[in-house]
Amino acid sequence: MSRFAYVNGRFVRHGEAVVHIEDRGYQLADGVYEVWAVFDGKLADAEGHFTRLWRSLDELRITHPMGQAALTFVLREAVRRNKVRDGLVYLQVTRGVARRDHAFPNPGVAPSMVITAKSVDRELAERKAAQGASVISVPENRWGRCDIKSIGLLPNALAKQAARERGAVEAWFVDELGLVTEGASSNAWIVDAEGNLRTRDANANILRGITRSTLFEVIREAGLPINEKPFTIAEAQGAREAFVTGAGTLVLPIVNIDGVKLGDGLPGPVATRLRRLYIQRAKEKAV
């Protein structure tokens, strides 16, 4: 099937889509990104991802490439042209193209923007979620602004590769206090020994996950106890359940941490229920 990408104002064939060699994204990782899950051809948690995109851009003083209405149109067009029913849309915005210099171009240049979309086999994803996934831990080695969804993802890529080489789907970063910060591309959660849902406070140098925020609403409506308190790997290994959240994984039960099986090694009832409730909510609210 032909795929199409949006590059700086137009849709082009995916195989022919190119950016300039002096784009600051390519040269300096000077840019941000966002990822929307797509359900039935519609964008999930749309507003939350837009709000975070504008914030990431503002924090880095990168000009907004376009307004929200226009961007919504282009994202939907990327979904439509790629015939994505269930999948993901990726957006990258960089500071633009300029002669190489670490400092910002002066005068400023127009930001660059790229959008791609891909399909996901949700039936396969459901089968995998029903089996549960494994994570490994790696030392936290990222910068102090993980609240910005920066395209500078080298530590995340290395962590994810380490996970893959050990048969795991995700790597959890662990800070110098021995506390889990988040995953390489997801937020980390446990259901602790007392039955409380636990995840790290989003003000503590992690990405404020949009899936995480929506799940907070779902959890409150379900009347489940929640505590924004970080946990150690040992606590997670002794927890009743664990799971990760993100646009790519939705709510994915974790059944093995650093080779230690959680409980009976099967996805727990809370994570399984939250996955179902999150997907239901995301589908209802998708636009």
Nearer to ligand PDD, 98 or 181 (CB): 181
Other C-beta atoms closer than 10 Å to the C-beta of 123 total: 9
CA atoms within 13 A on the CB side of 223: 0
Instruction: Give alpha helix (H) positions in 15-141.
Output: 24-28, 46-60, 68-81, 122-131
Looking at 157-165, 208-216, 256-264, 265-273, which segment touches ligand PDD (CB under 6 A)? Answer: 208-216
Residue 171 phi/psi, 5-degree rounding, is: -115, 135
Smallest gap from Cβ 47 to ligand PDD, in A, equals 12
Rule CB under 6 A: say whether 212 interacts with ligand PDD.
yes
DSSP E strands, the chain = 4-7, 10-13, 31-39, 42-43, 87-94, 112-119, 133-139, 170-174, 180-183, 187-191, 197-199, 226-227, 241-246, 250-257, 260-261
C-alpha to C-alpha distance for 184 and 161, rounded to whole angstroms: 10
Is residue 35 a contact point for ligand PDD (CB under 6 A)? yes
Q: Does 150 bind ligand PDD (CB under 6 A)?
A: no
Residue from 211, 237, 256, 272 binding ligand PDD (CB under 6 A): 211
159 binds ligand PDD (CB under 6 A): no
Q: Which stretch binds ligand PDD (CB under 6 A): 93-101, 133-141, 163-171, 183-191?
A: 183-191
Query: How many Cα atoms within 13 Å fall on the side-chain side of residue 108?
Result: 10
* Position 137 contacts ligand PDD (CB under 6 A): no
Closest approach, Cβ 169 to ligand PDD, in A, equals 13
Region of 96-104, 195-203, 205-213, 275-283 interacting with ligand PDD (CB under 6 A): 205-213
**Position among 38, 163, 171, 210 found at the interface with ligand PDD (CB under 6 A):** 210
160 is catalytic: no
Q: Alpha-carbon torsion 46, 18, 32, 169, what sign?
A: positive
* Alpha carbons 191 and 110: distance in angstroms, whole number: 46
Shortest Å distance, C-beta 287 to ligand PDD: 16
Q: Segment contacting ligand PDD (CB under 6 A): 24-32, 190-198, 202-210, 278-286?
A: 202-210
Rounded to the nearest whole angstrom, what is the least distance from the CB of residue 239 to ligand PDD in the complex? 19
The residue from 83, 118, 128, 149 that is catalytic is 149
Q: Which of 243, 43, 39, 19 is nearest to 151 (CA)?
A: 19
Task: Write the binding mask 236 to 255 for ligand PDD: x where contact by CB under 6 A, - elsewhere.
Answer: ---------xxxx-------
Do the Cβ atoms of 78 and 117 come closer than 8 Å? yes
CA 284 to mean position of chain CA atoms? 20
Tally of CB atoms within 10 A around 21: 9
Among 23, 140, 170, 182, binds ligand PDD (CB under 6 A): 182
87 binds ligand PDD (CB under 6 A): no
Residue 187 binding ligand PDD, by CB under 6 A? yes
Instruction: Determine phi and psi for 73, rounding to 5 degrees.
Output: -60, -45
Q: Which residues of the chain form contacts with ligand PDD (CB under 6 A)?
A: 35, 182, 185-187, 207, 209-212, 245-248
Active site residues: 149
